[in-house]
Amino acid sequence: MTRLEDRQILMRDIARARADGARLAPACALAGLDPRTLQRWKTGDRLSISDRRPDADRPVPSHALSEAEQARIIAVANEPRFSETPPGAFGHECAAHDESSTRWRCRYPHQPAPGRSAPGDEVILLLLDINMPGISGLDLLPKIKGSKPRLPVFVISVYGDADTVSRARKRGAEEFLTKPIDFAKLRRDIMTVHADAMRRDV
């Protein structure tokens, strides 16, 4: 993002160049600026207000922790038994009844849990690594399939032994990808899933 002061300097220099007979496109190119960007700066108050992001309207995510949950996290974090515990471990203690979604929300408050899309988004495929912070992908897989049975899930792991593959298949994985991943095959599989999703929408 270009600072307000830099915008004003660029606008002044380009205006001087134009007054001396330079054409707009070469003057912008010399300044490393696209003429369309210059036009956007001229509209509204972009030459008087530097950054609108601090004042932007940011709705609270639907999966955000409630005030009661935040208070519970602080209470647990202040217990003597956690005086030397890394902050990442608190999610386990704050999750009642081993709810993986609560642990995820403690660790990643701004990201929807795997298998849960934000409003307006459609998830057509989930790539699920077995090794994740706080929970195994194999334990999370049946919960995802329970809430979204039609969502294809590709499980990823460095371990491709028959037992691990069998467990993933039995819990609902459509594909099992062993690291290092064959990205050419993965791309073909993703295109197939996308084509199936498009046919369902027709």
pLDDT tens series, the chain, 202 aa = 567 778 788 888 888 988 999 998 888 888 888 888 888 877 766 556 665 666 667 777 766 777 887 777 677 677 776 666 665 555 544 544 344 555 555 555 555 555 555 544 578 899 999 988 888 889 999 999 998 898 999 999 988 889 999 999 999 999 999 988 888 888 889 888 888 877 765 4
What are phi and psi for residue 124, nearest 5 degrees?
A: -110, -10
The SS3 of residue 176 is: strand
Q: What share of the chain is helix, strand, coil (3-state, %, to 5)?
A: 50, 10, 40
Label the pairing between strands 135-136 and 126-129. Answer: unpaired
**pLDDT for position 49:** 62
**pLDDT for position 80:** 79
Label the pairing between strands 175-178 and 153-157. Answer: parallel
**pLDDT for position 166:** 93
User: What is d(CA 108, CA 86) in angstroms, rounded to the nearest whole number?
Assistant: 15
**pLDDT for position 58:** 73
Element (H, E) at 118: none
Mark 99-114 as b/e (b = at least 16 C-beta within 10 Å). Answer: ebbbbbbbbeeeebbb
Largest separation between any pair of C-alpha atoms in the chain: 76
**pLDDT for position 95:** 46
| One-letter identity of residue 111 | Q
User: What is d(CA 166, CA 61) in angstroms, rounded to the nearest whole number?
Assistant: 36
pTM over 0.75: no
**pLDDT for position 198:** 77
